[in-house]
Chain A
């Protein structure tokens, strides 16, 4: 019961200290929130790009497009040649009519397509290749491009792969930035609590003289750090959400209609709670660091 009461006293004292200086507290929380919001926003952008990238094919494959005037027999001969190639793992034929249907179903171009005279798409083969080595794939592409009635050989997966690599690089960069900013948030939070500890120096000294333990002295400051961090985390999530909506609107205006999958993904509840919890933890750690320093400086027994 006494333990619970001590926690209650400390929490009450922490809230009293925050509300006693509303402007200073608000600025402290805002400074922390901005530092937290930067990696949050970066995470939002990366998550959005990541969502697009995961919908792209990154399996090594090559599209072999036939000439528009290729006949059924021509297509069959090209298919046989591809299947005979040691570099082809599987070969799938996409007739031009089916390709047109797919285009109609997956984009908003149905009206445009209907207004066309004929089918502008060629027959095509999707060839999954065995090799991961880009030199071998390039050699195979060159060989396949020379087959009669083959118009073009495209390896679209390569840029999707490059995008995936960039996203992985971005994640790593984000982790580094988040780590650096996290440490600085803990130090900023600690420094703000240290100012509080200095302002309460007499109270700390007198409390220790009349029997407060180190834990007793630390407790309200830890709650202060925890609350400050949690409020800053909440504000950072809010700022991140506002920025995401604002950027999302700009992005929609910029991108053409057919690129509808490109949109800003907002932070979900788990993520938001995680950010608030992490910020609260950093606030707590900073407060601990700050008060430990102050306690060492005025221990009454020495």
Chain B
């Protein structure tokens, strides 16, 4: 489903976030990307979602080589992947409903269909009663769940989450992880990053360990 071969990523200014990374995530698999902060976890996830391009090496998602795709094709590929951002990237000038509806509006869905899907996604994360709430009025955990609702509203085959339990207390973190496990159970490929050992133990899934931009043993 997602294949990295000899992938390196250098950011402008010469900082090398990843080098020589070869790994694979199978369809329907659940994988945790681990490592200290600065190990390259976020970069790996962004490359896997088509948000950034590899400097060298190839990234193949669902049989498509991202290096060969133009900007427009890459943007359209991103629609098939749900991404939960570490900093949420919610729009604070619109309510919960409109935040979740954004991917569907971009893709040109009909109003009725948008309504059905947004409510289903909000229901899934337990925020159906807060659809009119503005993001500022939501707690950190609720904002995280709103971001998850936006990621799954397009019913993606791949769900990627960057440190989804990062700033949450244990109770909230467990609920979020259970949510990801429920997506995994229905066949969604789930990749999440964490620096928290207890998260990996709880999930009991395969891990891709990174250290200083390369795969750790």
Please give the residue numbers on chain A whose beta carbons come within 8 Å of chain B beta carbons, in ascending order. Answer: 2-3, 5-6, 9, 202-203, 205-216, 299-302
Q: Of A6, A202, A213, A214, which is in contact with the most chain B CB atoms at under 10 Å from its CB?
A: A213
* B80 CB to nearest chain A CB (Å): 8
Check if A301 sits within 8 Å of B51, measured CB to CB. yes
> Per a CB cutoff under 8 Å, which of A5, A203, A302 touches B53?
A302
Which residue of chain B has the shortest Cβ distance to A301 in the bound complex?
B53
Which residues of the partner chain B approach A208 to less than 8 Å between Cβ atoms?
A: 75
Considering the chains assembled together, what is the distance between the CA atoms of A299 and B52 in angstroms? 10
Instruction: Enumerate the 3 nearest inter-chain pairs by beta-carbon distance, A residue then B residue, closest first.
Output: A211-B79, A211-B78, A2-B108
Jot down 18 A-B pairs with beta carbons below 8 A, ordered by A. Answer: A3-B108, A202-B89, A202-B92, A203-B91, A205-B89, A206-B89, A206-B90, A206-B91, A209-B78, A210-B78, A210-B103, A210-B150, A212-B106, A213-B75, A213-B76, A214-B72, A216-B106, A302-B53
* A223 CB to nearest chain B CB (Å): 14
Contact code string B145-171 (vs A, CB < 8 Å = 1, else 0): 000001000000000000000000000
B129 contacts the other chain (Cβ, under 8 Å)? no
* A177 CB to nearest chain B CB (Å): 40
> Per a CB cutoff under 8 Å, which of B53, B83, B108, B110 touches A210?
B83
* A218 CB to nearest chain B CB (Å): 12
Q: Of A9, A301, A302, which is in contact with the most chain B CB atoms at under 10 Å from its CB?
A: A301
Check if A215 sits within 8 Å of B72, measured CB to CB. yes
Check if B110 sits within 8 Å of A5, measured CB to CB. yes
Considering the chains assembled together, what is the distance between the CA atoms of A212 and B106 in angstroms? 6
Please give the residue numbers on chain B whose beta carbons come within 8 Å of chain A beta carbons, in ascending order. Answer: 50-53, 71-72, 74-79, 83, 85, 89-93, 102-103, 105-110, 150
Considering the chains assembled together, what is the distance between the CA atoms of A301 and B11 in angstroms? 11
* B150 CB to nearest chain A CB (Å): 7
Which residue of chain A has the shortest Cβ distance to B51 in the bound complex?
A300
Check if B108 sits within 8 Å of A209, measured CB to CB. no
* A215 CB to nearest chain B CB (Å): 7
Q: Of B92, B102, B108, B110, which is in contact with the most chain A CB atoms at under 10 Å from its CB?
A: B108
Check if A9 sits within 8 Å of B102, measured CB to CB. no
Which residues of the partner chain B approach A210 to less than 8 Å between Cβ atoms?
A: 78-79, 83, 102-103, 106, 150
Which residues of the partner chain A approach B72 to less than 8 Å between Cβ atoms?
A: 213-215
* A30 CB to nearest chain B CB (Å): 26
Which residues of the partner chain A approach B102 to less than 8 Å between Cβ atoms?
A: 206-207, 210
